Structure 1
Amino acid sequence: MNPWESDRTYQAVVQAFVDGDPRDCMGGPLDVRAVVADISTQAKDGFLLEKVPWDRFPEGASVRQEMERLRSGDAVRGGLSGLMGLCANDMRAAVALAVPFLIRVGTDPEASQRAQALAVTAEAARMQHQGVCTRADMLRFRGEDEWFFEVTGYLQNWSVQAARDAIAADTDLLLPLVDDPDPTVRIAAAYALAAASARAQTIVSVFQTRLLCEDDPAVRAGLVLAIAQLARAHQDSNTVVWMRACWSDHVQPREVRVSAALGWMCLTDLPVPDELAALLDHLATHETAQLMAPLPWMRAAEHAAGNGLQRCLRTMLHPDTPDAEDRRDDPWA
């Protein structure tokens, strides 16, 4: 017997979401969106984990245990890896409960593993997206128009929405990290804020202001992609114009122009202009790809280390050309 089959939490989820109609749970004790929204500011700021009903959601006990270890400073890296593993395995509901606390770890200048805490926050706010690099889907929060379920049977759309709402609620805590001295924290903060379900215009304004003084090329590229993802989620047509202005501006650094080109292609279905194709032929070099390789958007797109940019451009510019990596993975290709 699968151990989940005897787990009361798992059984309750199956009964409610697999055997029943998820809509009957909206706003109730199994709606993780409502539960996260009900966590008080006092509980968040005081790291009062006992105020959170972890046991209502699959793997909740293990997530609480990892958060206890995080609070005590014991094996922080291992704990965060465990939470990231749950996201990778499409088990985000309980991780969504941890997002408000992870944000406070990421914003604590005395905490270790700040960038990693923010990375888990960002992944909890996204559905499984490894290998997705088409114009239509690279920056899209999938599940906008259909339901997806986690391996436990829980409605993944709600897990992701709960995390995105938690980020939006704590936007004021996260925004100062865009100016953090550590570039890995700046990238992770941009990736997390790009998933916010609200306050998009405020966030974009801060990103654009930071871009004017940012001296790290990878961070510059990440800020542009974060602006594009916010625009994709919030249907901001003005950003399409801004992206085109960026990639066509010869004064902009190459990584800004390449990232803006990616953003523009993801925000519109217009044919790729010859000018843009020529630009990418010239600027999207191996050196540029390596510079952008640490960005989470590129890591999500890659099949081999460092080839995320090449896969994105091949898929977007030549959608009818088979992907060599995909063919190697397919024994029937």
Structure 2
Amino acid sequence: MVRWEEDPVYQAIAQAFVSGDLEMHAGGPLDVRAAMASISQEAKDAFAYDHLPWERFPRGPETRGDVANLRSGDADVVRRALRGVSGELANSACSVAALAVPFLLRVAADPRGHCRVFALELVADIVQWTLGPSRCTREELLRLSGGEWWFEPSAYPGHWGIEAARDAVAADLDLVTALLDDPEPEMRVAAAYAGVAAGRIHDVRSALHVRLRVEADPVVRAGLVLALAQLACEHPDPECRAWTEALWSDPTTPPVVRVSAALGWLCLADAPAPESLLAALEVCATEETARLMAPLPWMRAVDHGDDTGLHRCIRGLLHPDDAEPVLDEDPWALPPILT
């Protein structure tokens, strides 16, 4: 096995981005955004993954092999391939994970495929990727990573990878919005989570509202509310704050939806939490609600040890000084359970 220091791809990346000017390479052969833009819709629909220059990016050939297995008839093979792409993302290799996005979307959209929900959730994880652990504050809970420069372990500009992934979702937004009507509740939630970062604001907002009007599953409705609030945090919507208030203040609305609306309101508003919102949380934010909301990706992103994501969110949004517990000398120590 070739050591990474001796790998010609890593050497080329280091020479380009450690010793060279990053902007000089924008739009060039090492720009994953340009590589993504170069592949036609026809090639993506034909699953022609070989049209992309995998060999130019760290861990590219390995990820190409995983993409090649995504349409296997063996569910275990597909699952391992998805874990391979997920592993690259976990190692902060967003550039090569981004190249897989068009094909992950087509796996998710194919009703005959295996691990469809896993594939779409992986797309959502790539486009929603954030710098460091997610924090439960009113300023950060529903924020996407912005245009900050950051670099992968290989020295590749990781923000280019996130931009490429979001461009890929925008190009295939019709596939994503169609999955808002999928029979699987988890798929509908993942579609909402992925769509927020696509950039086509009007189209995404309209599709989310259309789905919300007919959605019967309270947990999926809660996810759609969080997605719409997140969209408003990124792209101001003057009506969204009042809309979330109407939801959390309505006692006929399911508790899980009221709680999501309250979280959204807290992230959209600068004002202190009113007594009526606190009363709604007191009634609705039960252990049962926390259990129901636990699978939502917004909650999974902030789930920490034995503390539920919902409880961390509420504590952080209402008491920001207590949002992140001070750890002891052990850097891996878990925070205390919320009481």
Q: Same fold per TM (> 0.5)?
A: yes
Unaligned runs of 5+ in 2: none
| Shift in alpha-carbon separation, 1:231–1:84, aligned structure 2, 3 A | same
2:198 to 193, 196, 199: 196
State, as a whole percentage, how many aligned pairs show the same letter: 50
Query: 1:104-132: CA deviations, max 9, x gaps?
Result: 11111111111111011111112245442
Unaligned runs of 5+ in 1: none
1:94-113 mapped onto 2 (5 Å cutoff):
94-113=96-115
Matches of 1:322 and 1:174, distance apart in 2: 33
Aligned length: 331
Matches of 1:21 and 1:235, distance apart in 2: 35
Give the match for residue 222 of structure 1. 223
Matches of 2:259 and 2:326, distance apart in 1: 23
Query: 1:137-173: CA deviations, max 9, x gaps?
Result: 11211233x2111222111111111111111111111
Matches of 1:235 and 1:78, distance apart in 2: 40
Matches of 1:234 and 1:8, distance apart in 2: 42
Q: Is this contact kept in 2: 1:293–1:306, CA < 8 A?
A: no
Matches of 1:35 and 1:234, distance apart in 2: 28
| Shift in alpha-carbon separation, 1:148–1:95, aligned structure 2, 3 A | same
**Cα distance, 1:250 vs structure 2:** 2.5
Give the match for residue 234 of structure 2. 233
3-state SS of the aligned residue for 1:237? coil
RMSD of equivalent CA atoms: 2.2
| Shift in alpha-carbon separation, 1:216–1:124, aligned structure 2, 3 A | same
Q: Is this contact kept in 1: 2:205–2:231, CA < 8 A?
A: yes
Q: Is this contact kept in 2: 1:303–1:325, CA < 8 A?
A: no
**Cα distance, 1:329 vs structure 2:** 5.7
| Shift in alpha-carbon separation, 1:323–1:137, aligned structure 2, 3 A | closer
Matches of 2:19 and 2:278, distance apart in 1: 50
| Shift in alpha-carbon separation, 1:292–1:325, aligned structure 2, 3 A | farther
Q: Within the alignment, does 1:13 sit opposite 2:13 as a pair?
A: yes
Give the match for residue 115 of structure 1. 117
1:243-262 mapped onto 2 (5 Å cutoff):
243-262=244-263
Give the match for residue 264 of structure 1. 265
More displaced stretch, 263-272 vs 106-115: 263-272
Paired letter, 2:136: C
TM-score, normalization by structure 1:
0.93
**Cα distance, 1:323 vs structure 2:** 4.5
Q: Within the alignment, does 1:212 sit opposite 2:229 as a pair?
A: no
Matches of 1:20 and 1:127, distance apart in 2: 26
**Cα distance, 1:269 vs structure 2:** 2.7
Give the match for residue 22 of structure 1. 22
Give the match for residue 49 of structure 2. 49
**Cα distance, 1:328 vs structure 2:** 9.0
Q: Within the alignment, does 1:87 sit opposite 2:114 as a pair?
A: no
Query: 1:7-58: CA deviations, max 9, x gaps?
Result: 1111222222222221111111111112111211111000011111111111
2:144 to 113, 127, 141: 141
| Shift in alpha-carbon separation, 1:97–1:305, aligned structure 2, 3 A | farther
TM-score, normalization by structure 2:
0.91
**Cα distance, 1:325 vs structure 2:** 8.6
| Shift in alpha-carbon separation, 1:310–1:15, aligned structure 2, 3 A | same
**Cα distance, 1:229 vs structure 2:** 1.8
Give the match for residue 296 of structure 2. 295
Q: Is this contact kept in 2: 1:224–1:256, CA < 8 A?
A: yes
